[in-house]
Structure 1
């Protein structure tokens, strides 16, 4: 599974999502991740809304492979529910 995180500078939840993805990658629990700095790539929330398929009000927006799952809270919940960090620690 590849994680893509769309975020903005100065957003603490964007930093949390990126940190979580880094921990998952370090434990080989994901195939990798990409952090997309929206302003530096010229992306707006309207652009992201098109990709997500509904209006986006907040960042980060996290995708697992190409499926949007929500923000940091949903990403963290997914990791906990699927025990990705715990499972990776036992390998």
Structure 2
């Protein structure tokens, strides 16, 4: 399983998402988007790519095996599916 998480320093939901993966023994690649322009460019790129389910403007954004999961709430909603594919 290949996990990518796009985060921002100090974001409480980003911290929760990373803790969730750590607690479940799942490694991830983190990309920190602290720069506003960099973050806006990421949002624009993802929204135009068709890779995301909904229009995004928040972090964290989580991708598993190149499939967009969403944010922390979406991660929780898909927990059993994700852990079943571990």
User: Aligning the two structures, in what range does the TM-score lie when normalised by the shorter sequence?
Assistant: 0.7 to 0.9
Distance in 1, matches of 2:56 and 2:31, equals 15
**Residue 15 (structure 2) aligns with:** 15
- When Rg is computed on C-alpha atoms for both structures, the one with the higher figure is 1
Matched, 1:44 2:44: no
Moved over 2 A (4+): 51-55
Unpaired segments of 5 or more residues in structure 1? none
Shift of 1:57: 1.6
Deviation at 1:71, TM superposition (A): 0.3
Aligned alpha-carbon RMSD (Å): 2.6
Matched position secondary structure for 1:4? strand
In structure 2, stretches of 5+ residues that fail to align are none
Task: Report the Cα distance in structure 1 between the residues aligned to 2:60 and 2:11, rounded to whole angstroms.
Answer: 8
Normalising by structure 2, report the TM-score: 0.73
- Deviation sequence 1:10-46 (CA, Å, 0-9, x none): 1100000011111222xxxx4x211211126x73133
TM-score norm. by structure 1 comes to 0.69
Greater displacement, 6-15 / 48-57: 48-57
